[in-house]
Amino acid sequence: MVVDFKIDFVVSWVNGQDPKWLKKYSKYKNDDTLDVKNARFRDYGIFKYWFRAVEKNAPWVNHIYLVTDNQMPSWLEDKNPKITIIDHSEIIDEKFRPVFNSSAIELNLYKIKNLEEHFVYFNDDMFLNKPVKPTDFFSKKGLPKDTAGLNAIQPLYDFDYIHTNNMRIINQKFNKKKVMRQQFFKFINPVNLELNIYTILLFFWPKFTRFFDLHYPYSLLKSEMKKVLEENNEAYTRTMKDRFRNKNDITIWLVRYYSLVQGKFSVRSPRVGKIYDLKDDYEKVLSEIKKSKHKMIVLNDDSEINKNLFEKKSRGLINVFNAKYPEKSSFEKGD
């Protein structure tokens, strides 16, 4: 389905084996108290298949912006007019650099020069898995596609702090009773499937506890992102001061949450994508890539995957991706 506006893709990437990057990282690594160091910056060698998948499944994309820290994949054809490499220095103030905190980096995406109002943000572990249309990401009227559902915070990992930080702001800025009355048919909707059950159970709770975070590629409006972060400049600055992820941080999810409570989104089924853990779901991942069950997939690394297993899984992923996308994309250099 055709839309009358352009859509850009933004993807972030880091080469954790790059000597120059490692030298920079080593200078500050003792400050990294939250992330699991042996898994956070690993590269499975499958990033080029992200581009092959985009070229095959979303040929309509207007432009791709690759956000990196003075890096570029050796195989990338940066002369392709459809891609622009964005260094951290172009969007992040010098006083905050170098930054290894993905939450902080993502809060600056709207500053990318020439970025379209409508853009989709991908982590480098988020892949298009079958053909997609512009309307899989935005409505014809230009609203971001998303799924609204209430959830509860269930503390288990250090990472769970972000839910508290983001939701504190939402509860300070918005009245839940009013929001649920105004956005009733977006939170309670047949398209939301089983998420309706959780929403109903938490419907009358006086404050927002959490929203469902499906962690698929994020459909965002540049102007809305700018507005939300300028309104919450104190929280933004606090996050930017953390070179590594910290329990004080907010995340790009806050921008999404603003859209949910204000109804500035178009309802989309949670079945559009699937999240897999590469430790427990590895065989399912291989099957998913082969059979294309979902339009979008997320391949989460796991700190319990040791070096030997990591290398084995890397080879397996490369093989299955190469079988699915055997031809180089125009984003890759020739032989």
- What is the DSSP track for 103-150? HHHHTTGGGSTT--SEEEEE-TTEEE-S---GGGTB-TTSPBEE---E
pTM over 0.85: yes
Alpha-carbon span 36 to 20, nearest angstrom: 21
Q: Please indicate, yes or no, if residue 41 is contained in any of the structural domains.
A: yes
Q: Please indicate, yes or no, if residue 293 is contained in any of the structural domains.
A: no
- Which structural domain, as residue segments, surrounds residue 111? 7-268
Alpha-carbon span 301 to 46, nearest angstrom: 13
The continuous run of DSSP H or E covering 180 comes out as helix 176-182
For helices 253-262 and 222-231, angle between their N-to-C axes, nearest 10 degrees: 100
Q: Pairing mode, if any, of strands 218-221 and 7-12? A: unpaired
CA-based nearest residue to 214, from 273, 128, 266: 273
Q: What digits encode the pLDDT tens for the residues 225-254?
A: 999 999 999 999 999 999 999 889 999 999
Question: In this predicted structure, what is the pLDDT of residue 78?
Answer: 92
Quote the mean pLDDT of the chain.
Answer: 94
Q: Please indicate, yes or no, if residue 67 is contained in any of the structural domains.
A: yes
- pLDDT category at 326 given cuts 50, 70, 90 is very high
Question: In this predicted structure, what is the pLDDT of residue 34?
Answer: 66
- pLDDT category at 38 given cuts 50, 70, 90 is very low
Q: How many domains does the chain have?
A: 1
Alpha-carbon span 138 to 133, nearest angstrom: 9
Q: What digits encode the pLDDT tens for the residues 272-282?
A: 999 999 999 99
Q: Please indicate, yes or no, if residue 166 is contained in any of the structural domains.
A: yes
Question: In this predicted structure, what is the pLDDT of residue 31?
Answer: 80
pLDDT at 137 over 90: yes
Give the pair of three-digit tokens for residue 215. 């962690």
The CATH number of residue 119's host domain is 3.90.550
Q: Please indicate, yes or no, if residue 311 is contained in any of the structural domains.
A: no
Q: Please indicate, yes or no, if residue 58 is contained in any of the structural domains.
A: yes
Quickly tell me which residue has 């172009």 as its tokens.
90
Q: Please indicate, yes or no, if residue 248 is contained in any of the structural domains.
A: yes
Q: What digits encode the pLDDT tens for the residues 19-30?
A: 999 899 999 988
Q: Please indicate, yes or no, if residue 306 is contained in any of the structural domains.
A: no
